[in-house]
Amino acid sequence: MNPLALELNQLLDGSVAGRMLSDFGRRLYFPKGIVAQSAEAGARAHKFNATVGMAVRNGEPMILPSLSAQLPGLTPREAVAYAPTAGVPQLRSLWLEAMKAKNPSLNAEAISLPVVTPGLTAGVAQAADMFCDEGDTIIVPDMFWGNYRLIFEERRLSKIRSFQFFSDEGGFNLEAFRKVVTEEAAHGQLRILLNFPNNPTGYSPTVHEAQEITNILVEQADKGADVLVLCDDAYFGLFYEEDTYGESLFAPLSQAHERILAIKLDGSTKEDFVWGFRVGFLSFGSAGLTAHHYDALLKKLAGGLRSAISNSSSVGQHLLIHLFTSPDYASEKQGCFLDLKKRYLRIRDIFQETPPPPCLETLPFNSGYFMSFRCRGIDAEQLRLSLLDEGIGTISIAGGYLRVAYSSVDLDQLLELYTAIFQAAEKLSATGS
């Protein structure tokens, strides 16, 4: 193993992070190669800096004028230069500040600095690379973003174990969660992924449920299990009901127990409505980790990024710095939030006025971009296809569920959309297909 990896492992040994690293995670290190040497030169090479593979003229990166004309608010460096492997430092600090503001109970002094990833997908994949091995089990609710299968099962050869997401009463199924967690904890290690607001259901836990989820995990940590929790917060902040827990579970979990390692995967993709920018963040937090541990973890993560994507989009990161420091940012974002909330409330009204037919059971939803129906006695794929014949696109999941991304449909079109869904479902139900 590379001596730099051994050094980092030594720093992490004895901590929850050290115990839970995958084989690949243990091998990771950040090389003292081109990137590290250029960083050193950036500070000391005051005559000529002949380190980086970029084309520079008069101290500025070359940029084609037709391109800079499209980006008048950015300097050439902001627009086209490479960003550091872990992201532009100012953006990382701004995101940490934002995390504090959005999660008042977060102990921001006791977590790592966020690292930039090219979207949340890459963040989840990096976390999986670092902490999931062949044969490891990762627990997720039975309604989950399909890409987790590719990431955990195919890339990492780990096993996804799911539990029934919703109780009969229509909330987060704490009993099912407790059961699966207790069974898996018997092996000494727990790996869990929680995504709120959830894709595909649009559900986020209530304040009580969030507390109980934390308590259940602390119980297992108390009994000696090491616990890794990945918090996929892609749709963070889009909470439409008063009793919904308004913070990320990362806030309590990152300070809950020295045997619990929480990883927050979040980003601007959905939160700031910049899906194609490819800017996400990964942050580590655990009551068992100190600044030295975080430093070692960040170096390993930087090694993971360096070996897979090298660095994230510079232009996206710099545009976001400008956005976050704009005086209008908060109000503009609130405007988009209110638009989505109005759609959510409109759907609630539509369902009051015209309840969905019995063949469509509405799954609990209170947040995010989506809502889903469980199809009863009809095939979700058939329903999707018959809606498609009418020019309406929806997503069928595992033959049993229909996901509707109401985030993509204007307020005044929701009645027509849901009327068409209900009619198509009733028709299928009547024909018995």
Nearest approach, Cβ of residue 195 and ligand PLP (Å): 5
- Residues 164-203 vs ligand PLP: string with x where CB under 6 A? -------------------------------x---x----
Question: Which residues, listed in sequence order, are joined to residue 404 by a DSSP beta bridge?
Answer: 371
Q: Is the link from the previous residue into 355 a cis peptide, with omega within 30 of 0?
A: no
Q: Should residue 280 be labelled a site residue for ligand PLP when binding is judged by CB under 6 A?
A: yes
Between 18 and 118, CB nearer to ligand PLP: 118
Backbone angles phi, psi at 371, to 5 degrees: -145, 160
Q: Measured between alpha carbons, how far is 177 from 220 in angstroms, rounded to an integer?
A: 12
Closer residue to ligand PLP, CB minimum distance, 84 or 119: 119
Kindly state whether residue 121 participates in binding ligand PLP, applying the rule CB under 6 A: yes
Closest CA to 402 of 433, 430, 371: 371
Q: Which of residues 71-90 bind ligand PLP (CB under 6 A)?
A: none
Find the part of the chain contacting ligand PLP (CB under 6 A) among 63-71, 117-125, 153-161, 401-409. 117-125
Map the footprint of ligand PLP across residues 131-150, applying CB under 6 A: 145
Question: What is the number of other CB atoms lying within 10 angstroms of the CB of residue 23?
Answer: 8
> What is the nearest approach in angstroms of ligand PLP to the Cβ of residue 120?
4
Judged by CB under 6 A, does residue 317 bind ligand PLP? no
Residue 259 or 343 with smaller CB distance to ligand PLP: 343
Task: Report whether 114 contacts 250 (CB < 8 A).
Answer: no
Nearest to 237 by CA among 267, 197, 276, 200: 197
What secondary structure, in 3-state letters, does 112-136 show? CCCEEECCHHHHHHHHHHHHCCCCC
In the list 61, 87, 119, 205, the residue contacting ligand PLP (rule: CB under 6 A) is: 119
In this complex, which beta carbon is closest to ligand PLP, that of residue 28 or of residue 230?
Answer: 230
Query: Of 267 and 364, which CB lies nearer to ligand PLP in the complex structure?
Result: 267
269 lies in the binding site for ligand PLP (CB under 6 A): yes
**Nearest distance in Å: CB 44, ligand PLP:** 36
The site string for ligand PLP over 226-255 (x = CB under 6 A, - otherwise) reads ------x-x---------------------
Look at residues 137, 89, 78 and name the one whose alpha carbon lies nearest to residue 114.
89
Q: Looking at beta carbons only, is 87 or 280 nearer to ligand PLP?
A: 280
Distance of CA 267 to CAs 103, 114, 120, 274, 280, Å? Answer: 14, 10, 7, 10, 4
Residues 6+ apart with CB under 8 A from 374: 360, 361, 363, 400, 401
Chain position whose Cβ is nearest to ligand PLP? 119
Q: Quote the least distance from Cβ 401 to ligand PLP, whole Å.
A: 15
User: Do the Cβ atoms of 303 and 117 come closer than 8 Å?
Assistant: no
- Estimate the crossing angle of helix 89-102 against helix 314-324, to 10 degrees: 50
Q: Does 267 bind ligand PLP (CB under 6 A)?
A: yes
Per rule CB under 6 A, count of chain residues that contact ligand PLP = 11
Q: Please report, as ranges, the residues that interact with ligand PLP according to CB under 6 A.
A: 119-121, 145, 195, 199, 232, 234, 267, 269, 280
